[in-house]
Amino acid sequence: MLCCSSLYYNRWRSNRSDKANLLLDYIIGQEFRGQTEGIVESFVEMQMQIETERRSYEAQWKRRDQNIRKALLHATHMFSSIKAIVGNNLANVPLLELAQPKDTSNDA
């Protein structure tokens, strides 16, 4: 019985060595290099696309932000002009008024 176990072990060891050699040949070969380059190229391309999209969206957001600020400024000017004419009879619009600073003296 020991003879069979020894034979099995020797085959396993030989097979293991063959697999290790096959793996080494694959890793140092052109196919593995090509696969690795393909993966890295895909990631680099995706990263470049994301950076392009980010720049585009940031430019759009900047334009929108400027338009919003401009519209709010005009609304404030219009409301102030009307209030100057009508006086205190015009209802207040809290969003157009200066925010009151929070009292932080009681927070301690």
The reply to whether 101 falls in a domain is no
pLDDT of residue 87: 85
Look up the pTM and report it.
0.49
Dihedral pair phi/psi, residue 102, rounded to 5°: -75, 140
- Considering only residues 104 and 55, tell me which one the structure prediction assigns the higher pLDDT: 55
Top pLDDT among 40 and 108 is at 40
pLDDT over 80 at 104, yes or no: no
Distance from C-alpha of 40 to C-alpha of 108, rounded to nearest angstrom: 54
| Domain that residue 69 falls in | 10-84
Report the distance separating Cα 88 and Cα 90, nearest Å.
5
In a domain, 5, yes or no: no
